[in-house]
Amino acid sequence: MKSEPPRETWCRMARRLARRMNVGFWLADFLPLFFAAGLVQAFLLIWLRKNQLPTSPAWWVFAALLLAAGSVAWFRKRKRFFSQQDALVFLETRLGLNNGLTAADTGVAGWPKPVALPARIVPRWSWKRIGPWPAWTLAIMAVAAWLPVDPVTSSPSARPVEPIAWSGIESRIETLEETDILEPASLEDFRQRVEELRRRAPRDWYSHSSLEATDSLEERTERAIRDLRDNLETTARALAEAEAFPEGLPWGREAALREELREALAGFEEGLLQLDPEFLAQLSELDPQSLPSMSQEELDALRECLADGLAACEASLGDGEDVLLARVPGTGGIGEGPAPAPLSFRADPATGEVSRLESVSNDDLSRAALGDRIGVGETDDDDEKRAPYRGPARAGTIATPGDGGEAVPRETFTPDEQAVLERYFR
């Protein structure tokens, strides 16, 4: 086997040494960045797991960060990298070759005879400096990958609760839609108004103007339904009365019924809730005189439509009552409450008095959600057991008549006078 020329041997050793040095320099800068990248990846991984999202982006980000860290480390340390010549100088310094390798590399002198590098001159890895970085990084990443985390559930309170009146209005409209006697376009008008309010920014839902508009729309809806119900009742009553007298209405009553029907018809036409045009035309032809000429089927159909409409109106208004009951007293529109003020000290459910006090608070605001219940307390609302206090009815009088002689010392005398009197009567 042909022996390698000294130049090749020395250069090979120098290149190997330079590689080790350069990797060492690169690692010195890369490892802290590697740790930082691992930290970022760990936080990202936990966040993704907490939000129940795919974790692959965390690994992609980690790979990209590693690439960037490697590039940064190389860029920062490239000026300190060892060239082959530097490695030759390193070797000749350690081996005591009097710069013979440098001179030989320049061509000034011949290459020294290659020697086996003693272990003491070959730089060895300092694992005490290298090891902790990847160890900590991998530990953190492992914790991030396997640590049990509570997934964040989408809390309804994340989005502000919309004003309850909106759902009340929509509920009424939906109930009215079940009947066929109403023009769908008129119902859609109410629904669109609610949608307009809902389209506002959630932070404005409880603004003054929004709440005023809500109140106004709610009253308008209720009034329209009540008007419709009244008109339908009037019509149904007139129809029933006319049917009760198949031979003809008493004198004077016919004109009154006609007038009532005319007013109801006007109400139907001018009302916010428009009747189906066909049904409205049918109603407009109603006349106490012409009723006997209608067939029984026609009358039954008409009666059924009216009853259906009335039932829908009643049901719709009933929905409204639910909404009303759901309101907390005193928390209505701006500056005015739709219900009696609280704290009336009466066990009357109609007042909506709160008997269960609930408080909501959360020290960790980052995890707070509106509506979180953290405790429930009980209060005694049975105030009737206690005698109510009544103050003086008029100036200069005593508040209570007292029990015999006790009234005097209790109400008028000073403590000293009371003591004197007590001693006397004793």
DSSP string, 104-117: HHHTSSPPPPP-PP
Determine the 3-state secondary structure of 59 from DSSP: helix
End-to-end CA distance of the chain: 139
By CB under 8 A, name the one of 10, 13, 14, 24 that touches another protein.
Answer: 24
Is position 7 an interface residue for another protein (rule: CB under 8 A)?
no
Is position 48 an interface residue for another protein (rule: CB under 8 A)?
no
Per the CB < 8 A criterion, the answer to whether 333 and 216 are in contact is: no
By CB under 8 A, name the one of 1, 3, 56, 96 that touches another protein.
Answer: 96
Output the smallest distance, CB 89 to another protein, in A. 5
By CB under 8 A, name the one of 32, 123, 132, 402 that touches another protein.
Answer: 123
Output the smallest distance, CB 86 to another protein, in A. 5
Residues 25 and 32: their CA atoms lie apart, in Å, by: 12
CB-count burial class (<10 Å; 0-12, 13-18, 19+) for 93: middle
Q: 346: Cβ–Cβ under 8 A, 6 or more apart, which residues?
A: 353, 383, 384
Write out the binding residues for another protein, residues 172-191 only, by CB under 8 A.
Answer: none
Output the smallest distance, CB 40 to another protein, in A. 23
Which range, of 24-32, 226-234, 262-270, 378-386, touches another protein by CB under 8 A? 24-32
Is position 316 an interface residue for another protein (rule: CB under 8 A)?
no
Is position 126 an interface residue for another protein (rule: CB under 8 A)?
yes
Which range, of 93-101, 152-160, 364-372, 389-397, touches another protein by CB under 8 A? 93-101
Determine the 3-state secondary structure of 358 from DSSP: strand
By CB under 8 A, name the one of 41, 102, 175, 235 that touches another protein.
Answer: 102
Output the smallest distance, CB 32 to another protein, in A. 11
Phi/psi region, residue 98 (left: phi>0; alpha: psi -120 to 50; beta: rest), is left
Is position 213 an interface residue for another protein (rule: CB under 8 A)?
no
Q: State which residue, 106 or 355, has the beta carbon closest to another protein.
A: 106
Is position 124 an interface residue for another protein (rule: CB under 8 A)?
yes
Is position 99 an interface residue for another protein (rule: CB under 8 A)?
yes
Q: 426: Cβ–Cβ under 8 A, 6 or more apart, which residues?
A: none
Nearest to residue 350, comparing CAs of 385, 325, 373? 325
DSSP string, 189-241: HHHHHHHHHHHS-GGGTTSHHHHHHHHHHHHHHHHHHHHHHHHHHHHHHHHHH
Residues 325 and 328: their CA atoms lie apart, in Å, by: 8
Compose the 64-83 pattern: x for residues touching another protein by CB under 8 A, - for all others.
Answer: ----------------x-x-
Is position 130 an interface residue for another protein (rule: CB under 8 A)?
yes
By CB under 8 A, name the one of 106, 209, 344, 362 that touches another protein.
Answer: 106
Residues engaged in binding another protein (CB under 8 A): 20-21, 24-25, 27-28, 31, 80, 82, 86, 89-90, 93-96, 98-100, 102-103, 106, 108-110, 120-126, 129-130
